[in-house]
Structure 1
Amino acid sequence: MTRRPRWPLALLLVLLAALAAFGLLARGRAAPTEGSAEVTFVRGMIQHHAQAVDMATRIRDRSKNRTLRSLALDIILSQQEQIGQMRGWLTLWNRPWAGAGMDAEHARLMGMATPAEVTSLDTMPVNTAEVTFLQLMRRHHQGALAMVRPVLDHPARPEVQALARQINATQSAEIRLMDQLLAQRGAAPLPDPGGMPGMPGMDMGGAGTKSTTPP
């Protein structure tokens, strides 16, 4: 008689216990409402991350530079994971994933590339595309730092603040790496996008002014 492995059942029990514990924790605090700072931030960051993943995928598929490909892969994996995490929160909060989104002007202030800039990464010479990617992604990261600033400076749900800290640390480090890669290519960064902290409708009692980029 062949004994069936018990690990699937054990794994299921662990998963059910974790979900039950998570449910108990979630019930201890009301879910954010439509238009709240948390919902607005999460939806905006999902949109922002999605473009970063798109740009990183395009350059990863073209570049032969090991460091640049590694950076692109890190962006793809980390930001796809965070997109899944944020969508999970919206589902848990009984909020739709998509909202009104950013208009073109606010997207620009948050460092996002235009559709034409994104698709140009597919057609320009590879060396030019590498420089353009680094410039666009660096500006994009600066926009993300502006978006997390109100969450870091003012009270928010602990899980949202933890994600904001993670984004701030990771993308600040990636900006420093992109500065090095641009310097190696004799290229300068694009001007700061000049975005104001936060997202439209994201009122957390007034945005702070301290920089989120570590010294």
Structure 2
Amino acid sequence: MNRRPLWPLAVLLVMVAGLAAALLLAPARTAPTESSREVVFVRGMIQHHAQAVDMATRIRDRSRDRTLRSLALDIVLSQQEQIGQMRGWLTLWGRPWGGQGMDAAHARAMGMATPAEVNTLDTQPVAAAEVTFLQLMRRHHQGALAMVTPVLDQPSRPEVQALARQIQATQAAEIRLMDSLLAQRSASPLPTPGGTGSMDGMDMTHPDGDTHH
């Protein structure tokens, strides 16, 4: 299905602002290596955020529920900004944007939807698609909360920890909102994704044993 991007100029400006903030505000420290906790986290979270933006854009195109549309817009704008910030860090660290991310099995364990699940947001009747979006996005957010845990619990660069705390606070609040929207629709959440509390299957250390630089 062809789709025209929403608010292309606004999204571009958000991403440019995120890149600029990351490049200007990140402390001048030794750049993390390819296998560092920071690079692994940032790459995985960019991949995770990109799907959230896709799903939120799809449901906002179709839904007429003001609260749901507002939630979807918040996800699009906030997570696009964070993608820009994280890409800025990768640039600053001399790391390519397109390096290795999560494989399909690990992405699933971190709450990401399958392509078929994402496509149902376009094909289901609107009311059903709203429920599916809330269920998929709630599980997606649970996966993000699991992804930030190692960054918050173990030594990491302060700017990356600050982003992890922001993601934790924002997405926990959005889960509570989605719970209320599901309850209004007499719908139940999906089971919690696997791999909770860790980035299972991803190397979070340097080959030399250093965990964060």
3-state secondary structure, aligned to 2:111: coil
| TM-score, structure 1 normalization | 0.82
Query: How far 1:187 moved relative to its partner?
Result: 0.2
Larger Rg: 1
**Residue matched to 2:204:** 202
3-state secondary structure, aligned to 1:107: helix
Matched, 1:90 2:90: yes
Whole-angstrom distance in 1 between the partners of 2:105 and 2:175: 23
Inter-CA distance 19–61: structure 2 relative to 1 (3 Å threshold): closer
For structure 1, the residue ranges without an aligned partner over 5 or more in a row are 1-17, 206-215
Matched, 1:171 2:200: no
The two structures, once aligned, show a CA RMSD in angstroms of 2.0
Structure 1 stretches of 4+ with a deviation exceeding 2 A read 18-23
**In the TM superposition, what whole-angstrom CA distance separates every residue of 1:147-204 from its partner, at most 9, and x where no partner exists?**
0001111111010000000000000000000000000000000000022412511249
**Residue matched to 1:129:** 129
Whole-angstrom distance in 1 between the partners of 2:113 and 2:125: 19
Query: How far 1:19 moved relative to its partner?
Result: 10
**Residue matched to 2:185:** 185
Q: How does 1:63-102 map to 2 (within 5 A)?
A: 63-102=63-102
Structure with the larger RCO, 1 or 2 (CA within 8 Å, 6+ apart)? 2
Whole-angstrom distance in 2 between the partners of 1:203 and 1:150: 11
For structure 2, the residue ranges without an aligned partner over 5 or more in a row are 1-20
Whether the 8 Å CA contact 2:22–2:86 is kept in 1: the answer is: no
Aligned length: 185
